[in-house]
Amino acid sequence: MTRKPLIAGNWKMHKTVGEAVDLVQALLDGLGDVADREVLVCPPFTALASVRPLLADKPIALGAQNMFYELQGAYTGAISPIMLRDVGCSYVIIGHSERRQYFGDDDAMVNRKLKAALANDLRPIMCVGESKTQRDAGHAESIVTAQVRAGLADITAEQMQSTVIAYEPIWAIGTGDTATPDDAQAMHAAIRRTLVELYGAEVAESMRIQYGGSVKPDNADELMAQADIDGALVGGASLKADQFLRIIQFR
Ligand code: 13P
């Protein structure tokens, strides 16, 4: 089973509209051949509409960093899946550890958002990952696989075809402290075993599991070479065109 790797940039709370347009243009200018991989950028909400026309018919998909699960209504400050579709998004990041930490997204919220994304033709990237304390206590695998099970509650095998999982150890995010390729591979294999239990081998083998957490030009090749790592969810290094282009062109 060959899985097309997905290299995604999570810009987090960075870039004004003008800066976002410049970055996307620089990525397009330097992109090269990406036939055997998929590329995605996730700018802040405010830049989505301005970036969209640049990406028309181009091999870079557009995604959002979060959404609410209701379609519309009195939810001040929230953005719905319909709005994301309307502005050209095909992907949405759900349950990022920063959402869990600062905005109270828990597994039940992640599951509701996942269902709403899938019901509205958005491909969710569901983030899971353990803290340093949890890893040091030897609980990393049980924590992460429990997040996978809870987040995917009531999601069908068919819906899994549109779902991506991102393993992002919290201690590796924004720290320059990447998981070793072996440790990352071990966790990705554990996640895939969980998917086999939930959905059977065929679905599990077809699913992409991204790694995120201090992915940089100088460690991307080694991480992407691991059997169960099917792409990267890149934070800081996705904000600089030359760095993100090099990660996209991992070999
Ligand atoms: P960094 O690449 O900055 O560590 O961020 C990773 C991340 O959180 C991507 O979603």
Q: What is the whole-number distance in angstroms between the Cα of residue 170 and the centre of ligand 1?
A: 9
Q: What is the mean pLDDT of residues 82-98?
A: 98
Task: Name the nearest CA neighbour of 37 among 4, 61, 9, 10.
Answer: 4
Residue 1 lies in a domain: no
Write down the pTM of the prediction. 0.98
Whole-number percent of the chain with pLDDT over 70: 100
Residue 192 lies in a domain: yes
Check if 233 has its Cβ closer than 6 Å to any atom of ligand 1. yes
Q: 131-142, pLDDT tens digit by residue?
A: 999 999 999 999
- Nearest-atom number in ligand 1 for the CA of 93 is 10
What CATH number is associated with residue 237? 3.20.20.70
Residue 234 lies in a domain: yes
- In whole angstroms, give the CA distance from residue 173 to residue 185: 17
Eight-state DSSP code of residue 152: T
Q: What is the whole-number distance in angstroms between the Cα of residue 35 and the centre of ligand 1?
A: 25
Structure tokens at 11: 């810009």
Task: Work out the end-to-end distance of the chain between its first and last CA atoms, rounded to an integer number of angstroms.
Answer: 19
Task: For the chain, give the mean pLDDT.
Answer: 97
Q: What is the mean pLDDT of residues 220-240?
A: 98
Instruction: Please give the pLDDT value at position 2.
Output: 82
Q: How confident is the model at residue 46 (pLDDT cuts 50, 70, 90)?
A: very high
Just list the catalytic residues. 96, 168
Q: How confident is the model at residue 1 (pLDDT cuts 50, 70, 90)?
A: low
Residue 134 lies in a domain: yes
Q: 47-79, pLDDT tens digit by residue?
A: 999 999 999 999 999 999 999 999 999 999 999
Q: Which of 6, 7, 10 to mutate to test the pocket of ligand 1 (most atoms within 8 A of CB)?
A: 10
Number of other CB atoms surrounding residue 68 within 10 Å? 18
Residue 27 pLDDT > 70, yes or no? yes
Per the structure, the complete domain to which residue 61 belongs is given by: 6-248
Q: What is the whole-number distance in angstroms between the Cα of residue 55 and the centre of ligand 1?
A: 23
Instruction: Please give the pLDDT value at position 159.
Output: 97
What total of structural domains would you count in the chain? 1
Residue 104 lies in a domain: yes
The residues facing 9 across adjacent strands are: 41, 234
Dihedral-angle region of residue 105 (phi above 0 means left; psi in -120 to 50 means alpha; beta otherwise):
beta
